[in-house]
Structure 1
């Protein structure tokens, strides 16, 4: 079972490039038609210097380019069969644009037991910087681990 000693633990940074084709695939999958995310002229008219990404894209981008998607679970001794995705959130500090190369630095931000230890909520915070070292976003996600409870 994951405990408080995991808080602060960092995992391998992930570097990913915001590519137009991958972004278009993401937009098509969601049915997102906002021209700001698809057309450079529309993006400029909206005040961007290039085509921005929609808020949830960072979560997908990190997952697409990670070398070992199970590194955290393995390192923390978590059985994947007991894992659920709880929630995610994004705070942007600067626009993320097509052509940017981002580095994601994940770490365990919190560990909270619930339901008398029947489940553990693990908060993962990820600082995201671009190719210029600008801190563009923070992402958070909550992983729910269903624990075996002694009867």
Structure 2
């Protein structure tokens, strides 16, 4: 087990992800998205797009496809039952579309505690690029809480 502050500044290996049309259609339907540029290729083309538009929050889903997405938590000795999704934010530089090869480069940027360590917060930032050009910056805050286990 390592000290959580040792993660700050650690860059994880970059990985490549491609959003497939089926994934995008399913994601849009789950969100209740009705704009056909997310689900219908003909509409996307009519709107001037090369393919289906990736919905704004879908990039977070792509990030979960990286190899061993919870490796740092395992290093910390965290039981996944302790983990809650705290928040996420996105900063966009350009649109992204189905079939594009996107490179995601995550790193840990902060760690802090509240309530005397009962709540621990781990912040991960991910740069998303396409052919070396920025697409988006993602930030995800995981909350690690102390569990009260009964035996």
Superposition deviation, residue 134 in structure 1: 1.3
The CA RMSD measured in Å over matched residues stands at 2.2
Tell me the residue number matched to 1:102: 102
Q: Is the 8 A contact 1:90 1:140 kept in 2?
A: yes
Structure 1 segments (4+ residues) deviating >4 Å: 44-47
For the pair 1:43 / 2:59, whether they are aligned, the reply is: no
Tell me the residue number matched to 1:18: 19
**Residue correspondences, number:** 147
- What is the CA deviation profile of residues 32-75 of structure 1, one whole-angstrom value per residue up to 9, with x for unaligned ones? 11112123454355454443111110111221x22213212123
Matches for 1:10-89 after TM superposition, within 5 Å: 10-44=11-45, 46=47, 48-63=49-64, 65-89=65-89
TM-score by length of 2: 0.85
Q: What secondary structure, in the 3-state scheme, does the structure 1 residue paired with 2:140 have? A: strand
Q: Is the 8 A contact 1:2 1:120 kept in 2?
A: no
TM-score by length of 1: 0.85
Structure 1 gaps, min length 5: none
